[in-house]
C-alpha cells in the first residue's frame, strides 16, 4: 500500500465541512435534507455533527442539488466550500471551458444575426 493511499484511508472527515458548504449555498441543514428528498434530516445532521458519514449516494445527491458545492471541500476541508462560477477562462476546467467557448460562439452568432 502506498503512503498516499494509507493517508487517504486514515483521513478524518469533519462534519463541519458539510455544514459550511451547505451554508455557502445559502441553505440550512434542514433545507439541504429537504432538497435531498429526506423525510427526516437525521443523516445530514449526524454527518454535520461528525457522528456518522454520508455515503456516495448522498454525496451524488449533493452534487445534483448543489452544482456549485465543492464536494472536495466537503470531504477534505481543502479549498472553498463553493465552486467559482467565474467566467475567467483560467478558472474553468477543460470541459467547462469548451462549453463556455461554444456558448460564447452561439451568442456571438445570434448577436450578429439580430
Q: What is the dihedral of CA 22, 61, 103, 83, to 10 degrees?
A: 30
Work out the end-to-end distance of the chain between its first and last CA atoms, rounded to an integer number of angstroms. 61
Domain residue ranges in the chain: 3-83
pLDDT tens track for 6-40: 555 455 778 889 999 999 999 999 999 999 999 88
pLDDT in tens, 79-111: 889 987 655 555 556 666 676 777 777 777 777
Q: With 0-12 CB in 10 A as exposed, 13-18 as middle and 19+ as buried, what is 26?
A: exposed
Q: How far apart are CA 48 and CA 7, in angstroms?
A: 22
The percent of residues in the chain predicted with pLDDT above 90, rounded, is 24
- CATH number belonging to domain 3-83: 1.10.260
All cell numbers assigned to 57: 449516494
Q: How far is CA 40 from CA 29, 33, 55, in A?
A: 11, 7, 16
76 has a pLDDT exceeding 80: yes
pLDDT at position 94, please?
64
Amino acid at each position: 500500500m502506498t503512503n498516499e493511499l494509507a493517508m487517504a484511508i486514515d483521513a478524518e472527515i469533519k462534519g463541519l465541512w458539510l455544514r459550511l458548504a451547505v451554508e455557502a449555498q445559502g441553505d440550512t441543514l434542514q433545507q439541504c435534507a429537504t432538497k435531498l428528498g429526506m423525510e427526516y434530516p437525521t443523516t445530514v445532521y449526524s454527518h454535520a455533527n461528525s457522528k456518522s458519514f454520508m455515503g456516495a449516494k448522498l454525496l451524488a445527491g449533493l452534487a445534483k442539488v448543489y452544482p456549485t458545492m465543492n464536494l472536495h471541500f466537503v470531504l477534505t476541508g481543502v479549498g472553498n466550500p463553493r465552486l467559482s462560477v467565474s467566467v475567467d477562462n483560467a478558472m474553468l476546467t477543460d470541459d467547462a471551458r469548451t462549453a463556455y467557448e461554444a456558448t460564447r460562439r452561439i451568442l456571438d452568432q445570434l448577436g450578429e444575426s439580430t
